[in-house]
Every structure is written in C-alpha cells, then in structure tokens.
Copies of this chain bind each other. A is one copy, B any other.
C-alpha cells in the first residue's frame, strides 16, 4: 500500500472538505459526488500542473480530455466535515491518451477510494466531431513530471 509520503514527492495533491451537498441520507458521501471531486481534481491538475485550464481547452478549437474508462474502489466511507487529501499521479502516457491513478485519503492517511482513469485528448475535427489528437507538446512535457515511480513513463531528455 502506497502511503501519503510516497505520493507527496511527485503527485498532484489537493485537499477537499466533505460538504453537506456531498452527503446522502446515511450521512456519508454519495458516490456520484466522488466523481465530481475526481473531475475537479483533474481540472485543477490541468490548470495548475499542465498549464492548460479547461476554459482555455474548450476555447482552443473544442479541445478536451474526456474520460474513456474509470475504475474505482471505495474502501471506506467519508463523513460530513472530513478533509480528504486527493492525490493524482500518471501511470501511463500514450500518443493521445493517459492513465491517471487517483487516491483519496482521510485524516490518518487511510484510503477512502482509489481510482484509475483513462483520459483521451481530443479536438474538434472536420464535421465538428471530436477526434483524438496527439497530446500537445507543452502538456506532454508537464505530464511526465507527475509520473508514478512504478510507471514506465520516460521523462523528456
């Protein structure tokens, strides 16, 4: 099991408060809300980690990074008022797609969820339909800085 300390050196990390709006009648986070939290984290990472905000992406010829696949294990419930430490690292980088590993942890670094997402870089092609594109060079260079130690992503040299 990876600990918070291992993750902290290369991962993109953002805490988040569990709010009233996230919680269900059982008093815990309703799981679709976790995916909003995950998407917010990816959004922040693009803007702060890769230098390309979602706003700029969508203005730049309808670029985007839709999620093609997601796998998520919910290990323990989160309660109203908890602070979740969300971390993101990259485990694979292809021509158009990238795989992200995301972890949410509670106050004692216990895992609340662990997710693996495959995102694809797309842009509006002919006819207006989004089609996969090569990851832009500036972002590719930034992405490798968030590579997980156990990934086989090679840095730029």
B-binding residues in A (CB < 8 A): 19-21, 23-27, 30-33, 35-36, 38-40, 43, 53-56, 58, 62, 64, 66-74, 77, 79-81, 130
A32 to B117, CA, bound (A): 13
Please state the number of chain copies in the assembly: 4
- A58: which of B55, B70, B80 is its contact (CB, 8 Å)? B80
Partner of A69, one of B35, B38, B55, B72: B72
Instruction: Decide if the interface of chain A is mainly helix, strand, loop or mixed.
Output: mixed
Determine whether the beta carbon of B20 is less than 8 Å from that of A43.
yes
Q: Is the CB of A74 within 8 A of B68?
A: yes
CA distance A33 to B73 in the complex (A): 18
